[in-house]
Amino acid sequence: MPDSDTAAPFDDIRDLMRTLPEADAAAVAAVRARERELTKPAGALGRLEELAEWLAGWQGRAAPAVTAPQVAIFAANHGVARHGVSAYPVAVTQQMMENFAAGGAAINQISAAHNAGLKVFDLALDLPTPDITETPAMSEMDCAATIAFGMEAIAGGADLLCLGEMGIGNTTIASAICCALYGGAIEDWVGHGTGIDAAGLARKADVIRRALATHAQHLTDPLEILRHVGGREVAAMVGAIIAARSQRIPVLLDGFVVCAAAAIVQGLNPAGLDHCVAAHRSAEAPHGRLLEKLGKMPLLDLGMRLGEGSGAALAIPIVATAAAIHGGMATFAQAGVAKAEDAD
């Protein structure tokens, strides 16, 4: 650990990212061995077989199962929203928080349908981060503290974590992060978000251009990118992803904003997302490009762009089914079925 008298707030996070646990190799080997004996042609279940291995490796057990899925939504507000980068006013973030609490949002229905727990975290909605075209979103201390909050927020024994977010203006934040991390034309990283028109899209791109120019000297490090042009919900999700890795909890990533947080983690350690699967490709145009950068192939592509962890939660039954098939199928010996190599 760094010396407490000289350590910067980000030092502990950087140290943690250098010592991430890996998947349980014995559990993965056991799943592969059983897979070869199940009553089906090798590889016939495609990605379901890969998901069973992935789940086993991160749960650390040869008989993977999804019995306690958890959806965690992190909500924050952004000063940059004052530039009209969203089709909705900032007040909608708080209104949606109340809708979550009342059980009226889409994610409430999806979570209930799949017996998933749902937690929603208010990250100081009454204190939006400053306008990133003028000043950093967070100090290093505040950013590190928010990451730490996200790490603590996922406590509770989940065996599959679905990450989601809520925050008017946060696709602008996600686009700024991606531009800073990966470069390229700003327009390639900007989408319609909540449904802005062509004029709004141009305004959004200009806001991001101004923000990147303001912070140009500080955009060479993932954590500095996060604190300068990010947001509290993104920082908290960075913490949740890191904590899930440390606790060997497999993670389903939702859409563009969640994956922007994942990109920060991968920027800190190229293997930092091995415990994560992309649940879906959203209709937000740059999300597909970001998934390619992350090296993640989505499980679903339903044209959704809701946020809330909705795409991640919809993938719960796919992962649970992969585990159920693996554990419940008979082997060739049990079923008295000849294996391919036994045939004449």
Known catalytic residues are 308
CA torsion 231-16-262-320 (nearest 10°) is: -120
Closest by CA position to 172, among listed 91, 81, 87: 81
Q: What is the DSSP string of 102-114?
A: HT-SHHHHHHHHT
Which two structure tokens, joined as six digits, stand for 27? 């559990």
Q: What is the chain's alpha carbon radius of gyration, rounded to the nearest angstrom?
A: 21
Query: What is the Cβ-side half-sphere exposure of residue 275, based on CA atoms within 13 angstroms?
Result: 29
Closest by CA position to 229, among listed 124, 122, 123, 143: 143
- Residue 265 host element (H or E): helix 256-268
